[in-house]
Amino acid sequence: MKAYESAFLRNLVVAGHGGCGKTTLTATALFNAGALARPASVEEGNTPTDFDEEEIHRRFSISAAVAFAEWNQHKLNFIDSPGLNMFIHEAALAMAAAEAVLLVVDAAAGVEVQTEKVWEFAAERNLPVLIAVNRLDRDRADAETVLTELKERFGRGIVAAQLPLGSAADFNGVIDLVTMKARQGEGKTREADIPSAHAEAAKTAHEALVELVAEGDDALMEEFFDRGTIGIEHLESGLRSATGQRRLFPVFFTSSAENIAIDALLDGLVKFAPSPLDAGAVRGASQPDGELTVERPVDDHQPLSLYVFKTIADPFAGRVSLFKVKTGCVKNDAMVINFNKQAPEKLAHLSVMQGKQAVAVTELHAGDIGGVAKLKDTVTGETLGDKSAAIFYSRPRVPEAAIQFAIEAKSRGDEDKLGAALHKMLEEDLALSFNRDAQTREFLLGGTGQQHVEIAVAKLKNRHHVEVALKAPKVAYRETIVGKADVQGRYKKQTGGHGQFGDCKIRMEPLPRGAGFEFVNEVFGGAIPKNFIPAVEKGIQEAAQRGYLAGYPVVDFRVILYDGSYHDVDSSEMAFKVAGSLAFKNAMEQARPTLLEPVMRVEVQAPAEFAGDLIGDLNGRRGRIEGLDAREHTEVIRALVPLAEMLNYQSDLTSKTQGRGTFHMEFSHYDVVPQQAAAKIVASAKIDHSEMAAEAS
């Protein structure tokens, strides 16, 4: 495999709504370029970028994957990304390694929810976007309607670089609006004159393209006024420049399943997508997570710097790190430093990835994408390079877990292997989370949705041979008080020798939500010796952790210790600790204890037609709607909802919105549980405690 210089590289994230044909389009492009021996499709389960067992089984992409095509003396690196809402973050993470986005749109479905989300991701990174309206062979495919919808959603910069010849079963090629030639047939298209039936439409579309390209360039505008048009060479360079500036977004038309106009698309990507040189200098920080004040040209002669944008946990090769050569030229067996950890790494056996297949290379130029196995310390989001020229590239923003499930190993053997297996999976999938809840003592596996967590469990079983059971997590309730109390805690125990004696008087009162626990010592005159006062506080705190109503920690209260008594011989720290716990229990009887529940800040995004039903559903979950924002053709509902009511929300949202809705939630605050709901929680907790006591006996 030869190394390509920066000017001959094109790095593109292939992104779009689920089911629009991204993976098959990538595979067909590879086939046409000679990288695959035969055509591949998701239905057959043989595409190079969907190589995970779960992807093949479920027939959709779960993780971003890299493949390359050599076309017209250029190398195109495709990063095929998932389109389902719970995995769409993979597209955003992959954009750190690309100079452009190939946005794929279904010719029948048009602009969908994740189409808009990908567009937003590209805008945040200021990446050029080229659009492929795919699956023109489908029934109800309508190129004109989709083009109009694209312009309505994303602005007048959307411009057709081609026109389709026919649609549905009659789709058999495209008209190139730059060269004004028709390209027809499957596989390698034949160039021909434009059919007379399409001549007028092609002329009108060509003139519209010429005008838009000329608008942003004074020299081209002058040529346009002088000649009434722009020459092909200048039109190509003008469209390329306008695409790189995000002023224009060229649209192409394809059928990946039937291999129609894919070669014309590849030609367009080579001509109009920016190279790493076109994208300009890279920006980094002089320290981790610092401001991006360091700029370096994309040049082989600059100090070497690599950004690791993806990690693959391969069961045979081990950890495979996918990286972008930001600056410099990397050679096989290079010694570099991990700037984030100040750890040395050796880049042995450099490769370029064709899905899961590693193709060996001896070097990679600035701007290229490669892979290396078995780095010791490096994970996703870290920067490697020449130790004499440190630079830190921005770490990815990863979505927080939207849902968590309690996870439990099915056997002792599974328990022993679980930690190591999860560690590998967390390196590969940054959106997974794993932690232990200190209150419920459950191990929690979190993800962007229920299906995300279920797929992780399937991978644990199939890839790592670890079987676990998923359970709905226990909600971390808390207890508090809403009244005041003034009580005594007295502990007296007499035995044959020294007895035990401790006596304290306390006042208890509520604190504002989130204040925690406060202990105030107002004992005067030595009623309780100073060395015993910390024992009273400790006894109260330990009793508060055990709870009063349902075994949940008691929070947001103040205890004032104001009096007590002691015995010269029988008093001890233990006795006053017990006295403190007794005083706490007596106070809870008077202070009107109540339950608190975690309330989440929820943001739901879905097409406008579902907003009414979703608001009604959130109200039914004891939610409080805080706002409703319109974004293009979607609505964003902001609400505060108790966590207990959101445990099954992912599946319900998918059902109510036909899979077009997404949501995100994060902890907001604790609030009082309504009395009727609290009674059920307390009763359930008492049953659980009884069962646990029975098991222990």
Predicted local confidence at residue 697, as pLDDT:
53
Q: Are the C-beta atoms of residues 403 and 450 closer than 8 Å to each other?
A: yes
Q: Are the C-beta atoms of residues 249 and 129 closer than 8 Å to each other?
A: yes
Q: Are the C-beta atoms of residues 491 and 579 closer than 8 Å to each other?
A: yes
* Per-residue tokens: 148: 């109009």
Strand partners, 9: 75
Predicted local confidence at residue 110, as pLDDT:
92
Fold of 6-192+246-272: Rossmann fold (3.40.50)
Closest CA to 106 of 17, 43, 224: 17
Distances (CA, A) of 364 to 87, 305, 371, 393: 30, 12, 10, 19
Question: Token match 């952790």: residue?
Answer: 545
Ranges of CATH 3.40.50.300 domains, the chain: 6-192+246-272
Distances (CA, A) of 264 to 75, 93, 184, 430, 622: 16, 28, 10, 36, 54
| Strand, coil or helix: 111 | coil
Average pLDDT per run of 10 along the chain, which is 697 residues long? 94 96 97 94 93 92 97 98 91 96 95 90 96 95 95 95 94 96 93 95 95 89 85 93 97 97 98 97 92 95 97 84 97 96 95 95 97 94 95 87 84 89 92 81 84 92 92 85 97 83 97 94 93 96 94 94 94 96 97 94 89 95 92 82 88 86 82 92 79 57
How does DSSP classify residue 210? H
The DSSP H or E segment spanning 562 is: strand 557-565
Q: Yes or no: is domain 597-676 CATH 3.40.50.1820?
A: no
- Which of the listed CATH numbers 3.30.230.10, 3.10.450.240, 3.40.50.620, 2.60.40.1530 matches domain 478-591? 3.30.230.10
Predicted local confidence at residue 684, as pLDDT:
85
Ranges of CATH 3.30.70.240 domains, the chain: 597-676
Closest CA to 549 of 613, 592, 611, 489: 592
**CATH architecture assigned to 403-471:** 2-Layer Sandwich (3.30)
Predicted local confidence at residue 481, as pLDDT:
97
Give per-residue pLDDT as tens, 89-98.
999 999 999 9
CA distance 78 to 68: 6
Name the class of domain 282-385.
mainly beta
Closest CA to 477 of 544, 403, 551: 551
| Strand, coil or helix: 479 | strand
Q: How many CB atoms lie within 10 A of CB 296?
A: 18
